[in-house]
Amino acid sequence: MENTQCLIIGAGPAGLSAGIYLARAGIRTLLIGCDPKVAGDYEIANYFGFEEAISGRDLVDKGRRQAIGFGADLRCERVLGVHHGDFGGFKVKTDNNEYQADALILATGVSRSRPPIPGIADYEGKGVSYCVSCDGYFYKGRPVVVAGEGVFAANQALELLNYTKDVRVCTLGKKPTMDEEFLKRLRDAGIEIVEQGITAIGGSPAMDSLTLADGTVLKADGLFIALGEASSTDFAYTLGVTRSGNFIEVDREMKTNIPGVFAAGDCTGGFLQIAVAVGEGATAAKAASSWVKSLKK
């Protein structure tokens, strides 16, 4: 396990801005994330300091080079889970490594979406969950399904084995995108991958079954949503960070309710613009830097 003073999850404008300020302040900084949504070929014509439009790809590339120039360590890895450390700080697991950090900045944007399963909202808190670490305990020895097609879903399914051996992954009609290593781990663990969609959730007052597109009914007391890749909101659930809908609640210094955890950019809501994300990243970095330095004292 590698150690760092501040770990930033998200390589978009907010995360890169935070990385620049932290590294420049002499804080050992690790930034984890691959190409953000903004790093496309479309033009950005309203960003301060650019008389001519710049592509999102070029703007992010400039930010990366600047962060690296100040000493930040940037790695393209997928974060699978974040937990409180056994003796303080935070543990971050990626598809390649595990890290221990004194401070954490969440800056992955907001991507959680409720899957198009009829009646799913009625079962949230009654069988439908977005957090294995939070709710897996309540399904000891009971049948559960993880909804998702990628590595995030595979990792969540494997984590559920700590509580129950009756685990399936349902890709909701999509082809699985997890790599061969995770596919093998699922096979070895006896976790079936179901590629059909879910057309109905059954049970009263709580969920006890799922109906698939071909009419098959699966016995399932829990449905854990893990679409695409993990987002800041997923990590917030695990850490106990206060949320308002899909957004993380922060104060003026971008502090969350959990000491040592900060958030910046679109995941905090508000005016979802690059200029705002950059400013919030700088503010979060200042607060995180102060937090790390206070630990030394």
pLDDT in tens, 15-29: 999 999 999 999 999
Is the domain of 6 the same as that of 57?
Answer: yes
Q: Are 253 and 287 in contact (CB under 8 A)?
A: yes
pLDDT at 234: 81
**R_g of the chain, CA atoms, integer Å:** 20
Q: What is the mean pLDDT of residues 216-243?
A: 88
Is the domain of 11 the same as that of 66?
Answer: yes
Is the domain of 101 the same as that of 10?
Answer: yes
Of 203, 225, 247, the domain-final residue: 225
User: Taking 80 as the threshold, does the pLDDT of residue 45 lie above it?
Assistant: no
Higher local confidence (pLDDT), 44 or 157: 157
Is the domain of 92 the same as that of 237?
Answer: yes
What's the number of domains the chain is made of? 2
Is the domain of 61 the same as that of 42?
Answer: yes
Is the domain of 102 the same as that of 187?
Answer: no
Digit-coded pLDDT (tens) for 74-95: 999 989 889 999 888 999 999 8
Q: Provide the residue range defining the domain that includes 275.
A: 2-111+231-296
Is the domain of 136 the same as that of 274?
Answer: no
Is the domain of 133 the same as that of 67?
Answer: no
The CATH number linked to 103 is 3.50.50.60
Is the domain of 101 the same as that of 140?
Answer: no
Is the domain of 106 the same as that of 250?
Answer: yes
User: Taking 60 as the threshold, does the pLDDT of residue 233 lie above it?
Assistant: yes
> For the whole prediction, is pTM greater than 0.85?
no
